[in-house]
Amino acid sequence: MTKAPTISDVARAAGVSVASVSRALSNSKSVTDELHARVTAAVETTGYRPQRSHRHSMKAPWLAILVTDIVEQFHLQVIGGIQEQAEAKGYLPVIIQIIGGSAQLSAILRQMRGITLAGIIAVGLDLTSEAWIQHWDAVQTPIVVLNTPVSHPKVASILVDFEAATGQATQHLLDLGHSRILYLGDYANRLSAAEFRGIVNTLARRGLTYPDAYRISIPDTVEGVSQGISRIMGLPAEERPTAIFAFDDEVAIDVLNALRYYDLCIPEDISVVGFDDIPMAAHSYPPLTTLDVPKRRMGRQMVLLLEDLAKNHRTEFGATIITPTLVVRRSTGPAPRPAG
């Protein structure tokens, strides 16, 4: 039987003392980056697995929930579903907000090495597939991510089909007689880009071209929305959109407020569509037509996927695809008739 590598083996491989290895593994502030890198490389070379310290021991394994914005309405709903399912399975959900980018994320993952983890669920972190695989290499625990496809036996994905969803909403607007449909979002955001493709492709099937004047990329802030609406109001009346599709519901509600500044009636003068169906969407003025993403159900499903990763070594990789459904409310109506 092969003897499991020890901390002494790591010390020999790194060319340092056992005490130095212990300090590096506990992320002591006295450890330099160079020493930490040497010890990390030696741990990987030897295959050493640090023993879990007594202070981290607990009956229920932790389930780490990584999120970029803890107050964002969409994230809150997903996390609610994660917590429900995690507690039902006997896990202890711990929410960690990542506000410092990849450097902070890497540091947090290093600290997780000595903790009994059921796995990691990531919500709202815009990382590449390659980055998630590297992070799995660092923690060696199952990971489930939202809206990033990853091909790995211990990393699973849940993907919202943004393109199909916005295509569905665009068809709704076309059926109401709208042909001048503006998309307001940040084109640099890959999720926003997917939404935009759904709109453009649906218009193309009707023989319609998305106007260059409507290619307005904005940050999802009140100021960004205000600037975007100001630009379209500067177009000749006959060229202005009769409908606006917003990146998400929070942006759409800002759009409603900005349009009222110009004394426009919704939906008589212009229709507005959002995305996500957050709770306030039904209580906006007017109530918002939007695409319902089953947020709590997605959260519960992420925990079930995590369990599956822990129990099975998958031979086939693939993402779980979620297609939102259109919820029609009073912010959309027939396209206004041309003047005259």
Whether the CB-CB separation of 159 and 322 falls below 8 Å is answered with yes
The pLDDT-based confidence of 138 (bands split at 50, 70, 90) is: confident
Domain match, 67 and 97 both: yes
> What average pLDDT does the segment 122-132 reach?
91
Counting DSSP H helices and E strands in the chain, the numbers are 11, 11
- Interval 73-124: pLDDT, tens: 999 999 999 999 998 888 999 999 998 777 788 888 888 877 778 899 999 9
Give residue for tokens 């990691």.
120
How high is the pLDDT of residue 220? 87
Q: Is residue 53 part of a domain?
A: no
How high is the pLDDT of residue 54? 39
pTM for the whole thing? Answer: 0.79
Q: Is residue 336 part of a domain?
A: no
Whether the CB-CB separation of 281 and 120 falls below 8 Å is answered with no
* Domain CATH number, residue 232: 3.40.50.2300
Domain match, 246 and 309 both: no
d(CA 62, CA 112): 10
pLDDT at 203 > cutoff 90: yes
Q: What's the N-to-C CA distance of the chain in angstroms?
A: 90
Choice among 119-133, 223-237, 275-289 with the minimum mean pLDDT: 119-133
Please state whether beta strands 325-327 and 290-292 pair in parallel, antiparallel, or not at all (unpaired).
antiparallel
Average pLDDT score over the chain: 89
CB neighbour class for 251 (10 Å; exposed up to 12, middle 13-18, buried from 19): buried
Domain match, 228 and 267 both: yes
Q: What residue numbers bound the domain in which 115 lies?
A: 60-161+295-323
d(CA 166, CA 199): 6
Domain match, 88 and 231 both: no
Domain match, 113 and 11 both: no
